[in-house]
Amino acid sequence: MRRLRGLRGRFALALMGVSALTLAITAALLLIPLDRALRDDAVRTLAESARASRSTVRELPPSAYRADSRRLRRVLITIRRQTAADAAVYDARAALVVSTDVDDLARSPVAGRAIAAGSTVRFERAPGDDADEAAVATPFTVEDRRYVLVMHRSLNDLPAVQHVVRQALLVAAGIALLIALVVGLVLASRLVARVTALRDTALRVSDAGMVVEVRPDDARDEIGDLTRAFAAMQQQLRDQEDARRTFVATASHELRTPLASLLLMLHATSEDLADDPPDLDEARRQVGRALGQTERLTRLSATLLDLSRLDARLPLRAEPVELGELARSIVAEFPVELGVRLHAEDDLWCTADPGSVAQVVRVLVDNAALHGAAPIVVTAGAGPGRAVLTVEDGGPGVRADEAVRIFGRFERGNEAGDSGSGLGLAIGRELAVRMGGDLRLEPGGNGARFVLELPSTDVPT
């Protein structure tokens, strides 16, 4: 029962159903018109025979039209032999003269109709009647006396022809159904085997995890596509899993270092305070350092939160942002002593998420202050289809061999010390790319020169 409900059974049943339906329609289209055509044909042939026979009968002398005429009887018997139809002659009152069939009295109404009509009358009994027959009555005149030649034949042999056709159709149906069943089973078995293999792999993956290898199918069909999609999905999940593992490991390492020194500082402070007399100066210094570490930890945890938001792919806003105005407000956040200079074009509109743009600009100015030196210059201008913000400083710049690496997560320059998290540029570039722009380091200039590009937009009215 389960097999029948599976793909194999359904496939075979569907193919058989289609074959059966096709044959049933063929049978209906063939048998009904066949019956009609056979009957029409029989009546037409009979009418032709009657017309030909009438000429033969008419050649007899008038004296031959009597009930006891042996000549007339002989002619009619010859006609029957030649046409396989019974023949009878009726007079003008539709009374039987001579016949080859004993029952011919019964056909005098047909003869009467032919005399009344003055022309050939065809007659066919409905099938289902005991005597299923076709009759043709054709009037003729011999020396001013009118007679009718009636010819009739039984149609009882027609069902035999139909029977042969029906039988042939049934045999064809049987063979077609058998072929459909076999083809359905073979086709479905191959499909089912491939789907089952894929299911087994999926079950093994859910049991044993990503170590199970999904082998993509070579076939260029939908199931092949499915296995390839499955393998690609597995690879992506693996990559994500790797990235997550690295992230957790690095993040906990990054957190552990400042936490360990914080602990040491607090121990030292508590020892300084336990001294007799307490070493208040040293304790104050230690508390100052501990505060610094705590601030660093706070910044780091905020940055990690930013990163996890990015990884969760929370949607960014896409709205018109005036880049010059935004740069001005970020520059204003930094202490005046830093001397950050700003050159911004007016009406520099771009499509972006304002919070994210502010975050990137903050990272760049922060880095210039931390890793570079004065003068720090922020420029906002327009490029082709882009709004461009550049942050330059007069520091040592980025070493050529570090230019790519510093955009990686938790990557710090060799000269950078361990004050930062190494996440600023990584987050900045990812945000820029997700807003349809880019963040890159440009060679040339005195120190470092970072360029943020965003898609520009028309001035909103």
Ligand X SMILES: Nc1ncnc2c1ncn2[C@@H]1O[C@H](COP(=O)(O)OP(=O)(O)O)[C@@H](O)[C@H]1O
Instruction: For residue 437, state whether it binds ligand X (rule: CB under 6 A).
Output: no
Task: Name the pairing type of β-strands 377-383 and 386-392.
Answer: antiparallel
Residue 437 contacts which entry, Mg ion, ligand X, none (Cβ below 5-8 A, type-dependent): none
Instruction: For residue 139, state whether it binds ligand X (rule: CB under 6 A).
Output: no
Instruction: For residue 152, state whether it binds ligand X (rule: CB under 6 A).
Output: no
| Residue 458, CA atoms < 13 Å, CB-side half-sphere | 2
Instruction: Count the neighbouring beta carbons within 10 Å of the beta carbon of residue 111.
Output: 29
Buried b (16+ CB within 10 A) or exposed e, 212-226: bebeebeeeeeeeee
Among 15, 361, 398, 431, binds ligand X (CB under 6 A): 398
CA atoms of 100 and 80, how far apart (whole Å):
8
CA atoms of 318 and 297, how far apart (whole Å):
31
CA atoms of 359 and 340, how far apart (whole Å):
17
Q: Which is nearer to ligand X, 241 or 442 (CB)?
A: 442
CB of 391 to Mg ion, least distance (A): 12
Q: Which residue has the tokens 């420029």?
A: 379
Instruction: For residue 324, state whether it binds ligand X (rule: CB under 6 A).
Output: no
User: For Mg ion, which residue has the nearest CB?
Assistant: 424
Q: Give, rounded to a whole angstrom, the gap between the first and last alpha carbons of the chain.
A: 70
Instruction: For residue 378, state whether it binds ligand X (rule: CB under 6 A).
Output: no
Q: Which is nearer to ligand X, 56 or 446 (CB)?
A: 446
Residue 431 contacts which entry, Mg ion, ligand X, none (Cβ below 5-8 A, type-dependent): none
Instruction: Count the neighbouring beta carbons within 10 Å of the beta carbon of residue 200.
Output: 11
Instruction: For residue 377, state whether it binds ligand X (rule: CB under 6 A).
Output: no
CA atoms of 69 and 155, how far apart (whole Å):
30
Where does residue 21 fall: left (phi above 0), alpha (psi -120 to 50 degrees), or beta otherwise?
alpha
DSSP string, 270-309: HHHHHSSS--HHHHHHHHHHHHHHHHHHHHHHHHHHHHHH
Among 340, 371, 429, 435, binds ligand X (CB under 6 A): 371
Q: Which is nearer to Mg ion, 324 or 420 (CB)?
A: 420
Task: Name the pairing type of β-strands 145-154 and 133-142.
Answer: antiparallel
CA atoms of 106 and 272, how far apart (whole Å):
142
Q: Which is nearer to Mg ion, 112 or 420 (CB)?
A: 420
CB of 396 to ligand X, least distance (A): 6
Residue 448 contacts which entry, ligand X, Mg ion, none (Cβ below 5-8 A, type-dependent): ligand X
| Length of the chain as a residue count | 461
Instruction: For residue 439, state whether it binds ligand X (rule: CB under 6 A).
Output: no
Residue 42 contacts which entry, ligand X, Mg ion, none (Cβ below 5-8 A, type-dependent): none
Instruction: For residue 368, state whether it binds ligand X (rule: CB under 6 A).
Output: yes
Tokens read off for 200 = 């087994």
Q: Give the contact letters, 19-38, x = binds to ligand X (CB under 6 A), - = no.
A: --------------------
Instruction: For residue 425, state whether it binds ligand X (rule: CB under 6 A).
Output: yes
3-state class of 124 per DSSP? strand
Instruction: For residue 390, state whether it binds ligand X (rule: CB under 6 A).
Output: no
Provide Rg for the chain, Cα atoms: 53
Q: Which is nearer to ligand X, 228 or 440 (CB)?
A: 440
Q: Using CA of residue 349, residue 351, residue 353, residue 358, what is the dihedral sign?
A: negative
CA atoms of 348 and 342, how far apart (whole Å):
14
Residue 348 contacts which entry, Mg ion, ligand X, none (Cβ below 5-8 A, type-dependent): none
Residue 75 contacts which entry, ligand X, Mg ion, none (Cβ below 5-8 A, type-dependent): none
Instruction: For residue 54, state whether it binds ligand X (rule: CB under 6 A).
Output: no
Instruction: For residue 432, state whether it binds ligand X (rule: CB under 6 A).
Output: no
Binding region for ligand X (CB under 6 A) out of 29-37, 41-49, 166-174, 390-398: 390-398
Instruction: For residue 367, state whether it binds ligand X (rule: CB under 6 A).
Output: yes
User: Which residues of this protein are in contact with Mg ion, per CB under 5 A?
Assistant: 367, 420, 424
Binding region for ligand X (CB under 6 A) out of 150-158, 238-246, 270-278, 416-424: 416-424
Instruction: For residue 416, state whether it binds ligand X (rule: CB under 6 A).
Output: yes
CB of 243 to ligand X, least distance (A): 17
Tokens read off for 454 = 């965003």
Residue numbers of the site for ligand X (CB under 6 A)? 363, 367-368, 370-372, 393, 395, 397-398, 406, 412-413, 416, 420-426, 447-448
